[in-house]
Amino acid sequence: KRRQLGRFDTPRPMAQALAEWAIRSSNDKILEPSSGGAVFLRSSISRLTDLGCKRPVSRLTACDIDESACHLAKKAGLSDSRVHLCDFLEENETDKTKFDVILGNPPYVRRHRMSPAEREKLEKLEFDGIKLNRKASLWAYFVLKSTLLLKSGGRLGFVLPETLLYSEYGRQVLSWLV
């Protein structure tokens, strides 16, 4: 099931390093759009605590399409109102907020492993005029949508595959980010 969802857990030291780079204030609002094993949430809590935040879980929001991942986010200390069982790429509660930091390891699901309905849904997605080509993996859509939810000057810290550097859709993402 984890592979089907594109979930590959990030080692805690890597998640912690990204959290330490991205989270610069105890007041930062943070989103984890594919919370998985909650490692980025736990690293964010640790970083916010180090910065003097008294209630770090109040600064975090998590999304995931998988119920068990949402359960892990709640186990990390997030309240029900801060954990959203939803498809991040569809319109959802997180779209109403701008974040200082978006951290995570987006799902790695190649197009050929998706159902026809999933592929059709992705083909309709467009982000500020950018429409990814038909070979794009799921992680690329997460990057594009996440940038739209960042405040001006916000920081995006994602673990991304090397296809970012050599695929056509990776170049589209890089151009978008620049």
Q: Most distant CA pair in the chain: distance in Å? A: 48
The tokens for 11 are: 């080692």
Tell whether the torsion through CA atoms of 10, 143, 176 and 96 is positive or negative: negative
What pLDDT digit, counting tens, does each position of 105-129 carry? 998 877 777 778 887 888 888 788 8
- Do residues 127 and 144 touch, judged by C-beta distance below 8 A? yes
* Highest-scoring range by mean pLDDT, 35-39, 85-89, 100-104, 161-165: 100-104
What pLDDT digit, counting tens, does each position of 34-79 carry? 998 999 999 999 999 999 999 999 999 999 999 999 999 999 999 9
Find the angle CA(126)-CA(60)-CA(52) to the nearest 5 degrees.
140
Q: How many CB atoms sit inside 10 A of residue 178's CB? A: 5
